[in-house]
Structure 1
Amino acid sequence: MARIAVIGAGVGAMAAAARLAVAGHRVAVYERTETYGGAVRRFERDGFGFDTGPGLLPLPAVYRDLFIKTGKEPLESCVELVQVDPSARHLFADGTEAPLPNASRAGVVAALDEALGAGAGGRWGDFLVRAREAWDRTRRPLLEEPLWPNWQVLAEREPYPSVPHKRLLRTRRAGTLAEIGAWELRDPRLVALLESHALAYGLDPREAPASAAVLPYLEHAFGTWYVRGGIRELARAVYERCLARRVEFHFGAEVTGVVEKDGRAAGVELADGTVAEADLVVCGVAPGVLDRPAPRAEGEVVPQRGAASRLTVLLALRGGRPRGTAHRTVVHAEDREAELDALFGVATAMASRPTVTVLRPDDPALVPDTGHEAITLTATVPSGSDTDARHAEDLITVAERAVPELRDRLLWHEVRTPADIAEVTGAAGGAVPAPALAAAEGRLLHPSNSTALPGLFMAGGWSHPGGGLPHAGMSGALVAGLIVEGPEFRGSQ
């Protein structure tokens, strides 16, 4: 039985802690803030409740596996999962509206044909078939296995089997997500639908590899889920599972560095100068949080830089949620190129009318009574950007396309900026990590879960396999596997 110190109480770090504790280890978690969950937080005021981090859960199988492996109570005994249907309602720049069914290829094809015209659904359906090939080729190395030492193979190989495109008498295959849209979808609304999945993770579709096609496929294949009471309830359930397995939590305990002894990790040093000795250390925080970061081996993946952030506006409304309202509406930018230039150009700034995701959960736990509604607006913004009340007003203006009489119903609103994310997570500029993706010369891979320092491991969104709730949860499984089974561990079978 080893003594294991875990740095940070994010969801990925807690997933590792629970798995390690059930394997018989003594696990202690050190969290610099006063609560668990990392970016998965909740804001409450006047009887309203809002998720200030992720609002929906893709690929819930990751957390079902966590709860099965760490106790008798399955996930559904600890939280109530609700499949969101439609998966999303899309409002395009030309006024076209398309509600898309959850986890139904035939339903999505029919819905797009009806909304965008005959043939649109077929092109999207054909794209999903190719996206599935990319998923099948990368699922294990990018989600279920530790990052291979020869990770350069993933960096060089493009797994998306795009259709050839003739240009200048030469046959080419799509190398970016934008090229997939232009060559294979051939409709600005389908292009916007495709690129919105990359934009939600802070990725520029003009630079994101074609392998980013797995992002819409993941949602299509495994559905979109909501946790009753908000995603914060998932973090609570993971925290309580840790407590049930006798994981110790130390809140308000800022770790400044990893203690080394005889060439191994031997504990953590706290901001007050004390040392907590340990046989193994799991680091679950963003790059730059520790004064002395983990050493990297030569040729290792470099931590992702330049990730985007999010602006979130929380709306408290008078009047109940109308029957039949979609849980999620994506309001697409009127000028997509201007939005991308503003986000990813040399002089980054927030677009005045960005793509906005409107979440309107049908959840009595989030409102004081049936005569009120809680709505969350989110938009991707540059990390470190100086957002203010004017930018929040821009999001509200965009959301009026999705919520009739929004301003007349508005009681108050709260804003969460990149600076707020930075305060909670410690990530520079409030950056939010993207999931790991193949190709792109490895720019969208994340550092391995093992490190150059024996006894030190990495979990959470800033390590393999990257950001997003499913990926963070899987990082915990990979770290636990490497510690329990050793370096020969090759993932779940």
Structure 2
Amino acid sequence: MARIAVIGAGMGAMAAAARLAVAGHRVAVYERAETPGGAVGRFERDGFVFDTGPGLLHLPAVYRDLFVKTGKEPLEQCVAMSQVDPASRHLFADGTDVSLPNASRAGVVQALDGAVGPGAGERWSDLVNRAREVWDATRRPLLEEPLHAERVPALGRDPYPAPPRRGWWRRRSGPLTLAAVAERELQDPRLAALLESHALAHGLDPRSAPASAAVLPYMEQTFGSWYVSGGMHGLAAALHARCVARRVEFFFGAEVVALVEKDGRAAGVRLADGSVVEADMVVSGVAPGRLEGMPPTESAPVPPGRFGVFLALGGARPEGTVHRTVVHGSDRAAELEAVFGTGPVAGYRPTVTVLRPDDPATRPDGEHEAVTLTATVAPHGGRVDWSDERTAADFADRMVRAAEAAVPGLRERESWRVVRTPADVEAATGAAGGGAPAPVLAGRDGRFLRPANTTSVPGLYLAGGFAHPGGGLAHAGMSGAMVAGLVVEGADWRGSQ
């Protein structure tokens, strides 16, 4: 039985902790905040409840497997989950309005044909079919196996297949991007915006993201969108409870500041109060740059930030309201330059995701509604100071104005709002820039991969969004499974069979 110190109580770190405890190890988690969940947080006020992180889960099988492997009670016995249907509503700048059913290929085709025009659904379906080939080619090496150095060259090649066309595909030069796929295969700016919105939501620039990023809408459309009653933080609370049931120790308000080494291997952690916790192995679930003594990794660009507005509304949620609506921006070029380039933050109308859960636990009574608005923005620091109140207030106002397309009379119903900028996210989670890393993707010579779960320091492992296989609720859970497999089975472990 080894003593294992886990840094951070994020989803990847807790997933690793639960599995390692079941394997017979003595596990202790050190978290600088006062609650578990990391980026999967919650804000409460006056009976209103809002998720501060992900609002939906798209690969529930990851957590079903985790709960099966770590206890007798399955996931659905620990949290109440339901499929969101429609999966999403999309409002485009030209007034086009389309709702896409949950996990229904035929239903999506029919909806797009009706809203965008005949043939639109088929073009989208053809793209999703090609994305399925990406999923089949990368599911195991990217999502079920640890990242080994010998696999990196192969994963640096984009598996997105060429469509059965001639001419433009042969004439293209350089790597194929998601934006190029959208332009060439979908042939409609609304379908292109639909495809690119999945990348933007994950903090990916469609102009540089590989074509393999088409796997993101494939996963959502194939495996569905799921919501946890009471908010997605309930999933984090359930995982924490599972860890506690497996006798994982938690120390909150205990910030780890450095890795401790002895004889060339990980030997514990040093806390902010100067105390040292000895351990046989260490699992880090936080950004490597936050800790002293961590081995160097290839630096990745700071991802875009996440800007949120929590709205307490008077008046009941109308019957038939869609859970998630994406209000697409009106100027693609201006938005992408503002988020990923050097364009001004002021002036453009952002793409805004509007979350309106039909959940009594999120509101004080039936005569009120809790609405969350989110947008992907430039990261905090550098060229944008999101701690500036005027900058934040102006952007929040533009988000609310955009969201009125999805919530008529929104400003008249507003009782109060709370703005959560990337600066706030950075302060709360420690994530540089106030965003979250994207899921790993194949292609572009491996630049969209994350550091491996093993490190150059024996006994030190990496979990969570800053390690393989990247960010997102499901991917974090996968990283925990990989770390546990490597610890229990050894460095030659190649994934579950």
Match of 1:419 among 417, 423, 435: 423
2: CA distance, partners of 1:48 / 1:85: 23
1:145 and 2:141 correspond: no
2: CA distance, partners of 1:37 / 1:485: 27
Q: Do the aligned residues in 2 keep the contact of 1:314 with 1:376 (CA within 8 Å)?
A: yes
Counterpart residue number, 1:299: none
Task: Please give the TM-score of this superposition, normalised by the length of structure 2.
Answer: 0.96
Deviation at 1:152, TM superposition (A): 3.0
1:463 and 2:467 correspond: yes
CA change 1:168–1:176 in 2 (3 A) is: closer
CA change 1:285–1:165 in 2 (3 A) is: farther
1:475 and 2:471 correspond: no
Deviation at 1:172, TM superposition (A): 6.5
Letter in 1 for 2:455: T
Counterpart residue number, 2:56: 56
Counterpart residue number, 1:103: 103
Between stretches 190-199 and 286-295, larger displacement belongs to 286-295
Segments of 5+ residues of structure 2 without an aligned counterpart are 387-391
SS at match of 1:414: strand
SS at match of 1:333: coil
Matched residues, percent identical? 66
Between stretches 146-155 and 79-88, larger displacement belongs to 146-155
Counterpart residue number, 2:328: 332
Deviation at 1:173, TM superposition (A): 9.1
Equivalences for residues 119-198 of structure 1 within 5 A: 119-163=119-163, 164=165, 166-167=167-168, 170=171, 175-198=176-199
Q: Do the aligned residues in 1 keep the contact of 2:175 with 2:444 (CA within 8 Å)?
A: no
Deviation at 1:383, TM superposition (A): 1.0
Q: Do the aligned residues in 1 keep the contact of 2:302 with 2:432 (CA within 8 Å)?
A: no
Equivalences for residues 275-294 of structure 1 within 5 A: 275-294=276-295
Q: Do the aligned residues in 1 keep the contact of 2:156 with 2:443 (CA within 8 Å)?
A: yes
Deviation at 1:351, TM superposition (A): 5.7
Between stretches 134-143 and 349-358, larger displacement belongs to 349-358
1: CA distance, partners of 2:172 / 2:422: 43
SS at match of 1:58: coil
Q: Do the aligned residues in 1 keep the contact of 2:113 with 2:119 (CA within 8 Å)?
A: yes
Counterpart residue number, 1:82: 82
Letter in 2 for 1:386: D
2: CA distance, partners of 1:349 / 1:112: 32
Q: Do the aligned residues in 1 keep the contact of 2:153 with 2:445 (CA within 8 Å)?
A: no
Deviations 1:356-415 (A, max 9, x none): 000000000000000000000000011113331111111000000110111111100001
2: CA distance, partners of 1:396 / 1:221: 31
Deviation at 1:168, TM superposition (A): 10
Deviation at 1:291, TM superposition (A): 2.6
Q: Do the aligned residues in 2 keep the contact of 1:343 with 1:351 (CA within 8 Å)?
A: no
Match of 1:306 among 276, 296, 302: 302
Q: Do the aligned residues in 1 keep the contact of 2:324 with 2:354 (CA within 8 Å)?
A: yes
Match of 1:323 among 319, 322, 327: 319
SS at match of 1:150: helix
SS at match of 2:353: strand
2: CA distance, partners of 1:203 / 1:20: 33
1:386 and 2:382 correspond: no
2: CA distance, partners of 1:434 / 1:64: 22
Q: Do the aligned residues in 1 keep the contact of 2:23 with 2:488 (CA within 8 Å)?
A: yes
Deviation at 1:427, TM superposition (A): 1.5
Q: Do the aligned residues in 2 keep the contact of 1:145 with 1:490 (CA within 8 Å)?
A: yes
Equivalences for residues 403-442 of structure 1 within 5 A: 403-442=407-446
Deviation at 1:459, TM superposition (A): 0.3
Letter in 1 for 2:179: A
Deviations 1:190-245 (A, max 9, x none): 00000000000111101000010110001011000000000000000000000000
Deviation at 1:150, TM superposition (A): 1.9
- Which of structure 1's runs of 4+ aligned residues deviate more than 4 A? 171-174
CA change 1:419–1:58 in 2 (3 A) is: same
Counterpart residue number, 1:223: 224
Q: Do the aligned residues in 2 keep the contact of 1:6 with 1:284 (CA within 8 Å)?
A: yes
Q: Do the aligned residues in 1 keep the contact of 2:58 with 2:223 (CA within 8 Å)?
A: yes
Segments of 5+ residues of structure 1 without an aligned counterpart are 297-301
Deviation at 1:169, TM superposition (A): 7.8
Q: Do the aligned residues in 2 keep the contact of 1:310 with 1:417 (CA within 8 Å)?
A: yes
SS at match of 2:167: strand
